[in-house]
Homo-oligomer: A and B are copies of this chain.
C-alpha cells in the first residue's frame, strides 16, 4: 500500500494515485460522470477524500475500507457508493467473507434492514465480479 507522500507531489496527483489503487475503474467512472456537471467537484473528490484522507499514514487502507463499508452500510442511503467500496475493500485486501462480516455486524448498530440491504449489495458486486472473471477467462481461452 502506498499512502506515502512522495516529495513534491500535489494533492491532485497523490489523490489520483490513491483513487486508482483503491476504487479502480469504479472510481474513474464517478470522476468522468462529474465532468460535464461539476468538474471542480470531481477534483475535490480526488483531492480531499483520496489526496488528504486515504493518503494519511496513520491507518492502513484495509482498516480504512472496513470503516467505509461499515459507515455506508449503516447510513443506508448511499447504495452506489457502498457498492464501489465493497469492491474497493476487495482491492485493498479484504476477503469476501470479511466484508460480509462487517455488513452483518451493522445489524447491531443500524438495524436488520440496513444489514440486509448491505448484504444484497455485496451479493450483487460479488456476482458481477464473478461474471467479469468468467468472461475474461473465456476470452483468454478463445
Q: Chain A: residues with CB nearer than 8 A to chain B?
A: 30, 33-34, 36-38, 40-41, 44-45, 48-49, 52-54, 56, 58-59, 63-64, 66-78, 80-81, 97-98, 100-117, 119-120, 122-123, 126
Contacts and interface: CB of A to CB of B under 8 A. Distances in A.
Contacts of A72: 109, 113
B98 A59 contact: yes
B58 A98 contact: yes
B36 A123 contact: yes
Nearest to A122: B37
Given A41-B115, A59-B101, A111-B110, A71 B68 contact: no
Nearest to A68: B109
A105 B70 contact: no
Contact of A78 (B54, B76, B105): B76
12 contacts: A41-B119, A56-B101, A67-B67, A70-B70, A71-B109, A72-B109, A75-B77, A75-B113, A78-B113, A81-B112, A81-B113, A81-B117
